[in-house]
Structure 1
Amino acid sequence: MTAKIVLLNGVGSAGKSSIAKDANDHSRTLPACADGCVPGDAARGAAEPYERLRLRTLLQDGKPSVVIKAGPVGRRTMQGMRHAVAAMAGQGNNLIVDDVLCDDEMSEYLSLLSGFELYLVGVFAPLECAGRIQQEFRL
């Protein structure tokens, strides 16, 4: 039986993790969350050299925007997660994957998961909502 994979993609605080948790609670799937692969200090822009991930908030057209840059450790970590997803699916596990795709990561997912039943889901939230959530929880 071919594994089924739902890939949730969207900005931080759009609700991907909540959707994945709820779907996991009501189905026979395993969760795979990018948040679990990123150490908290790196995700919050620790002073560590550009090794893992660096988040920078910029103003674009007067509105806040977040730029995510991965250093060598961050790229290897996230690439390892994508390969782990493929390995788990290869063992027949149905998965719900929660990720924020950057650069060329979608093409890697499409290549790694081409032998499975893959559903791509974009998760969106109004900027005001996502910004409020990030401020309230200091994400």
Structure 2
Amino acid sequence: MAPRRGLVIFLSGTSSSGKSSIAAELLHVLDEPYFHMSADAFHAMRTRKKFPPDRLDEILHRTWQGFHRAIAGMAGAGNNVVVDHVLSADWRLADCLAVLDPRDVVFVGVRCPLAELERRERERGDRPSGLAARQWKQVHAHGVYDIECDTSRSDPLECAHLIRDFLPGRPAPTAFERLRARD
């Protein structure tokens, strides 16, 4: 059997922007099998043991790097993946650009106005107050996506349909190819 490369639908947005809800809907509307790989789920696999604050950044950095390589491993083995991720540090996007095959990534900007993000954050109650606001500028700073959706205007199912309908005619070079060439 000829090796196949998996497609990565990479949802990028702040906390509370709706990435996980869109990912759940994508699993229902896409014809091929996909795996949802969430940064939150990946972090939830780590022990709950408390670590000294001076070690926390190192531990989190390695966790994110492992997450990126797990995505690349799944796609490299021919699996389709829906990723939901918060690119709130420059090095995270750079690392993803380095380890993922840019031809196989559909980079989706998941946007939402800050006031709505803050409202959702308060309603959820499971995120630190102001988290989305702290991530707001950095997450979309690179400015390049294959497709974008605004979750204040479209519900998760509508966003999932928009993404699904985009896939057959996705352009080349991809956003990841353009970002890699730029950086």
Q: Same fold (TM over 0.5)?
A: yes
Normalising by structure 2, report the TM-score.
0.58
Q: Which has the higher strand share?
A: 1
2:92 to 94, 105, 108: 105
Gaps of 5+ in 2: 45-49, 128-183
Partner in structure 1 of residue 35 of structure 2: 30
SS in 2 for 1:3: coil
Q: CA deviation at 1:115?
A: 6.2
Checking the alignment, whether the CA contact within 8 Å between 1:5 and 1:116 is kept in structure 2 is: no
Partner in structure 2 of residue 65 of structure 1: none
Instruction: Assess, with a 3 A threshold, how the Cα gap between structure 1 residues 37 and 51 changes in structure 2: closer, same or farther.
Output: farther
Partner in structure 1 of residue 104 of structure 2: 117
1:33-44 matches, cutoff 5 A: 33-39=38-44
**Highest relative contact order (Cα 8 Å, sep 6+), 1 or 2?**
1
Shifted more, 92-101 versus 20-29: the winner is 20-29
Q: Write out per-residue CA displacement over residues 56-110 of structure 1, whole angstroms, 9 at most, x where no aligned residue.
A: xxxxxxxxxxxxxxx0000001110000001111111000100001221112112
1:132 to 119, 123, 126: 119
Normalising by structure 1, report the TM-score.
0.75
Q: Write out per-residue CA displacement over residues 95-132 of structure 1, whole angstroms, 9 at most, x where no aligned residue.
A: 01000012211121122112651111111111111101
Task: Determine the C-alpha separation between the residues in 1 that align with 2:69 and 2:34.
Answer: 18
Gaps of 5+ in 1: 40-45, 53-70
SS in 1 for 2:53: coil
Q: Which has the higher helix share?
A: 2
SS in 1 for 2:90: coil
Checking the alignment, whether the CA contact within 8 Å between 2:5 and 2:77 is kept in structure 1 is: no
1:1-139 matches, cutoff 5 A: 1-27=4-30, 28-39=33-44, 49-52=53-56, 71-101=57-87, 102-114=89-101, 116-138=103-125, 139=127
Aligned identity (percent) is: 33
RMSD: 2.1
Letter in 1 for 2:39: A
Instruction: Assess, with a 3 A threshold, how the Cα gap between structure 1 residues 3 and 47 changes in structure 2: closer, same or farther.
Output: closer
Task: Determine the C-alpha separation between the residues in 2 that align with 1:19 and 1:124.
Answer: 12
